[in-house]
């Protein structure tokens, strides 16, 4: 049974709309909501509901939207973060074997998880230097703002406000705004919090460069053990792999390649498109699960 309100036709990629075009369209929808919130004008949730259903529909077919997230394109990071977090959250939910209806709930909450950030001035959102103590306090109030904003337009989606208010809570009590611990935090909020942490590590901010997806996964496996449940970290790794899509690696033969497809049961042995003279070879693909004499020896830094 579909959750109440998630009955709109999904804005999903189709043969006439590429994943790249769809991703840009999704960002445009979120950008429109950001402008409306900043101008204190009314906005509707229907298009976001359709986006949520579209994400689930697309990821059920292929991982091209996930590849788009991992490309780390330039743009408005506040807007792109909303779309990226929704996509990665759905992948984590798939790893937990959630049914489609719950995946759509996760996608919707993911798209709106930082809604309260839109109520903050751009001078604070895009500040390149360290925040003052007062600015940090204002920034940490955005979950409450977001929860109130979604309640004004989405009374049929009570889980969204709950997730927004808890998304920055952490298992060890180090999060905010309530300092909640353990089972007091909704699992959906923890999923979105983990996806948000991954996106924050991989995508650049005005004050720092982003890390590679591989580095982000390794960081979360080390530093995330006390703040996120083990089964969520496990689902993230299983869905994105230690070598996420787009990671450049070197083989024991000295050849380099780009991860083009994951082998879910063999996360250390993905499918690669080999590089020739610095360019991806369209013709040569290697499946490390089948080519047992080959193995990855290191990740190659890019950029």
Same domain, 89 and 231: yes
The token pair at 130 is 């360290």
Tell whether 181 is covered by a domain: yes
- Is residue 264 exposed (0-12), middle (13-18) or buried (19+ Cβ within 10 Å)? exposed
Residues 121 and 186 reside in one and the same domain? yes
If asked whether residues 160 and 262 sit together in one domain, one would say no
100 lies in the same domain as 207? yes
Residues 6+ apart with CB under 8 A from 198: 88, 213, 216, 217, 220, 236, 240
Answer whether residue 270 is part of any domain.
Answer: yes
Are 217 and 253 part of one and the same domain? no
Query: Is residue 207 domain-shared with residue 295, that is, in the same domain?
Result: no
Q: Please check whether residues 190 and 254 belong to one and the same domain.
A: no
Number of structural domains the chain divides into: 2
Instruction: Write the CATH number for 235.
Output: 1.10.3210.10
Question: Do 133 and 183 lie in a common domain?
Answer: yes
Q: Are 47 and 108 in contact (CB under 8 A)?
A: no
Last residue of a domain, one of 204, 222, 240: 240
pLDDT of residue 141: 95
Contact 144, 166 (CB under 8 A): no
Residues 219 and 77 in one domain: yes
Asked if 52 and 104 count as a contact pair (C-beta separation under 8 A), the reply is yes
**C-alpha distances out from residue 298 to 97, 251, 280, Å:** 31, 7, 18
Q: What is the pLDDT of residue 253?
A: 93
In a domain, 8, yes or no: no
Residue 7 lies in a domain: no
DSSP state of 183: G
Per-residue pLDDT of the chain (303 residues; tens, 9 = 90+): 333 334 444 555 554 457 778 899 899 999 999 999 999 999 999 999 999 999 999 999 888 899 888 887 778 899 999 999 999 999 999 999 999 999 999 999 999 999 999 999 999 988 888 889 999 999 999 999 999 999 888 778 888 999 999 999 999 999 999 999 999 999 999 999 999 999 999 987 766 677 888 889 989 999 999 999 999 999 999 898 888 888 889 999 999 999 988 887 888 899 999 987 656 555 689 999 999 999 999 888 765
Contact call for residues 81 and 114 (beta carbons, < 8 A)? yes
Query: Is 288 among the domain residues?
Result: yes
Residue 277 has a pLDDT of 67
Tell me whether residue 1 is in a domain: no
Shared domain check, 262 and 133: no
Q: What is the pTM of this model?
A: 0.86
Q: Which of these three, 191, 211, 240, is where a domain ends?
A: 240
Residue 274 CB burial class (10 angstroms; 0-12, 13-18, ≥19): middle
Beta bridge partners of 208: 205
pLDDT for 209? 75
72 and 162, same domain (yes or no): yes
Predicted local confidence at residue 263, as pLDDT: 86
Task: Name the residue range of residue 287's domain.
Answer: 248-299
Q: Which of 215, 240, 265 is the last residue of a domain?
A: 240
Is residue 207 included in any domain, yes or no?
yes
* Structural domain contains residue 164: yes
Q: Which residues pair with 172 in a beta bridge?
A: 181
Rg (alpha carbons) of the chain, rounded to whole number: 19
42 and 89 in a single domain? The answer is: yes
């Amino acid at each position: 049974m579909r959750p109440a309100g998630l009955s709109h036709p999904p804005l999903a990629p189709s043969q006439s709309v590429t994943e790249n075009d769809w991703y840009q369209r999704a960002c445009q929808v979120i950008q429109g909501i950001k402008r409306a919130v900043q101008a204190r004008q009314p906005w509707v949730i229907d298009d976001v509901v359709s986006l949520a259903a579209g994400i689930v529909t697309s990821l059920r077919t292929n991982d091209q939207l996930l590849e788009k997230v991992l490309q780390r394109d330039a743009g408005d990071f506040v807007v792109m973060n909303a779309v990226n977090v929704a996509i990665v959250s759905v992948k984590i939910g798939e790893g937990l074997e959630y049914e489609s209806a719950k995946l759509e709930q996760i996608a919707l909450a993911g798209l709106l998880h930082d809604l309260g950030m839109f109520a903050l001035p751009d001078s604070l959102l895009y500040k390149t230097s360290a925040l003052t103590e007062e600015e940090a306090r204002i920034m940490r109030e955005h979950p409450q703002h977001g929860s109130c904003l979604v309640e004004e337009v989405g009374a049929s989606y009570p889980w969204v406000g709950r997730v927004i208010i808890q998304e920055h809570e952490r298992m060890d009590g180090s999060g905010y705004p309530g300092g909640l611990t353990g089972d007091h935090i909704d699992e959906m909020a923890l999923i979105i919090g983990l996806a948000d942490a991954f996106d924050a590590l991989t995508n650049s901010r005005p004050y720092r460069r982003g890390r590679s997806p591989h580095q982000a996964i390794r960081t979360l496996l080390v530093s995330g053990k006390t703040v996120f449940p083990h089964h969520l970290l496990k689902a993230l790794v299983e869905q994105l792999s230690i070598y996420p899509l787009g990671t450049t690696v070197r083989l024991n033969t000295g050849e380099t390649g780009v991860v083009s497809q994951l082998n879910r049961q063999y996360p250390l042995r993905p499918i690669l498109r080999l590089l020739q003279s610095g360019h991806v070879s369209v013709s040569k693909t290697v499946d490390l699960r089948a080519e047992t004499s080959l193995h990855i020896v290191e990740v190659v830094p890019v950029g």
